[in-house]
Copies of this chain bind each other. A is one copy, B any other.
Amino acid sequence: MMESSSPLPLPARVQLLLPEWMQHFPDPHTVCASDEDKVALAIELSRRNVDAGSGGPFGAIVFDAEGRIVAAGVNRVMPQHTSLAHAENIAFMLAQQRLHSARINAALAAPVTLATSSQPCCQCYGAAVWAGIDRLLIGARAEDVMALTPFDEGPLPADWIGELQRRGIQVVRDLHRQAACEVLRAYGESGPRY
């Protein structure tokens, strides 16, 4: 592939696809009024992603101010050969491309919320700074992910919550933390495939 004598044209298109089962879940009519309900749905995505063998044990959803789903994502790193294909990043990109807006809350009334089954890693943390969200709801903590799965969470600023709050992003942790940990534990114990 990399012969210098006749190299291929350089690649010019990135594509990321959700798994087929997400054509049927979540229902686009879903309304999640509470913070707990929003994270519970993200955790349910993480569980179904593991059960389907379609990626790692992580789910994330962008909600509008009324609790309606703008876009939902799951981890697709291994199936799509893309280290950026974490659940949060996919949800951000799908929401932005749907709305034709590089900042989600430039196109929707505040507050825009990201609910995620586990604390964002260093990569999705940085993406959350620019994505245009007003609230970040988290299930499992980074230490849960690292205790229960092979995944590293990477280096964060020491005051990562404060850095988000100073940029207008409220952080709420430990929502259904145990339920999120159950998915992580089951994944870790079953022999990770992704």
A81–B66 contact, CB under 8 A?
A: no
Most buried by B among A31, A81, A89, A95: A81
Q: Which of B12, B81, B160 contacts A23 (CB 8 A)?
A: B12
A34 contacts the other chain (Cβ, under 8 Å)? no
A–B complex contacts, Cβ < 8 Å, 13 sampled:
A2-B66, A4-B29, A4-B68, A7-B68, A10-B28, A13-B17, A81-B100, A83-B127, A83-B130, A84-B84, A84-B130, A123-B123, A129-B155
Q: How many residues of A contact B (CB 8 A)?
A: 69
A84–B77 contact, CB under 8 A?
A: no
> Taking the full assembly, how many copies of this chain does it contain?
2
Q: Which of B14, B18, B132 contacts A15 (CB 8 A)?
A: B14
A185 contacts the other chain (Cβ, under 8 Å)? no
Q: Which residues of B contact A64 (CB under 8 A)?
A: 2
Q: Which residues of B contact A177 (CB under 8 A)?
A: none
Q: Which residues of B contact A10 (CB under 8 A)?
A: 22, 26, 28, 69, 71-72, 94
Q: Other than the known A9-B28, A83-B96, what 6 A-B pairs have Cβ atoms closer than 8 Å?
A: A83-B131, A84-B92, A122-B129, A123-B126, A123-B129, A155-B157
Q: Which residues of B contact A69 (CB under 8 A)?
A: 10
Using a CB-CB cutoff of 8 Å, which residues 98-134 of chain A contact chain B? 98-103, 108, 121-127, 129-132
